[in-house]
Amino acid sequence: MIYQNDINSQRLLPNFDQSLIWPAILLLSLGLVMVYSASISIAEAGRGTNGYPAYFLIRHGAYLAAGLFAGLIAFQVPLRLWQKYSLHLFLLGMALLLLVLIPGIGREVNGSRRWISLVIVNFQPSEFMKLFVVLYAANYTVRKAAYLGSFRKGLFPMLIVMLMAGSLLLLEPDLGAFVVITAILMAILFLGGMDLKLFAKLTGFLLICLLMLIWIEPYRLQRFFGFMDPWDDPYGKGYQLSHALIAFGRGEWLGVGLGGSVEKLFYLPEAHTDFLLAVIAEELGFLGVMTVAALFAWLVIRAFVIGRRAAMRERHFNALVAQGIGIWLGVQAFINMGVNMGVLPTKGLTLPLMSFGGSSIVASCVALAVLLRVDWENRQLMKGYAV
């Protein structure tokens, strides 16, 4: 009788993790409001916007609708199918990264060739590659679990794959996406049981490679020097960071009020994309920034909790996918926030779920839908249903 009551109580569990859904909705909603606030002046004066103030708001709203629709479809796909076709998706991502580099197909913006023009929107393959890497790395780690202590059998094949994907990203160039994807791969391998000594050695090797990539490219080196002392050349290499810091300083504790930012008035470059957090800091203050940081932290925590529950049920692919998505969103948000605050060198990475950009929004929504699917399958198993 007690056992039957336990079964019935388990079946009354909600189907979704509400503590994951609501923070995501808050981030998406706040992002919509802040993109509108940050882009009004740019839209009024920009080319191709016809001087319409709500130009970026409408487009961002359309991206959100597309992201939610894509997420709804992705949620219907069982994790066993994501695992089955993870290699196919990864190869698709590699092909798209290669297409970006072909003149006439890839579109160049601000010296970088990262987009494929789809007439009305630009498609950025590197955003979806992050999800494909999560799926592929999780599947690889599960299949090669017995060999993760061996460099030749376990890590060398993944290192080759990492170098191939990284080379395509660096040719765009997109060092930020390369760093995020490398972090995802390394974290999933570590969580999957990679030997600690090998992990430490590989991490050291990758850090040396990162420093070399910064050193050999003059523009990256200039950005690094600008990060070290933005006030040494505030109208040159330190321009972006100096204005971001001014925005943070003006915001103080509670901000100057929604819509009251001065830095978004053509002082702060990319105010509605890479430096959206600086506008949030100026208009909503320390409280607004900490709210955003806390919401992202909570998403990462929930992703790891969901992953742990899947691992307890011996669904190791599901567990690594959930944790990989949490790492992706957490690392990218951390880098973007660090850049805005002057803690990290300037890099062209958007703030997930918030910054303007169709590919980023859609990819993030699909990733969250996959994460919700992992949680849903966990709950179905707890209720005694087969998944």
pLDDT digits (tens, 9 = 90+) for 350-374: 999 999 999 999 999 999 999 999 9
Q: With CA atoms as reference, report the closest residue to 303 among 330, 323, 287, 333.
A: 323
Q: With CA atoms as reference, report the closest residue to 142 among 129, 158, 131, 130.
A: 158
DSSP 355-387: SS-HHHHHHHHHHHHHHHHHHHHHHHHHTT---
Q: With CA atoms as reference, report the closest residue to 36 among 64, 70, 2, 76.
A: 64
pLDDT digits (tens, 9 = 90+) for 185-210: 999 999 999 888 888 988 898 899 88
pLDDT digits (tens, 9 = 90+) for 302-341: 999 999 999 999 999 999 999 999 999 999 999 999 999 9
pTM of the shown model: 0.94
Q: With CA atoms as reference, report the closest residue to 129 among 100, 88, 94.
A: 94
Tokens of 67: 């992201």
Helices assigned H by DSSP within the chain? 2-11, 18-45, 55-75, 79-84, 86-100, 125-143, 156-171, 175-191, 196-216, 218-228, 239-251, 276-312, 316-341, 358-382
pLDDT category of residue 383 using cuts at 50, 70 and 90: confident
Give me the chain's average pLDDT, please.
Answer: 91
Q: With CA atoms as reference, report the closest residue to 296 among 374, 254, 351.
A: 351
Residues 253, 290: Cα–Cα separation, whole Å: 10
CB of 381 closer than 8 Å to CB of 145: no
CA dihedral 145, 149, 151, 157 (to 10 degrees): 10
- State residue 109 phi and psi, 5-degree precision: -135, 125
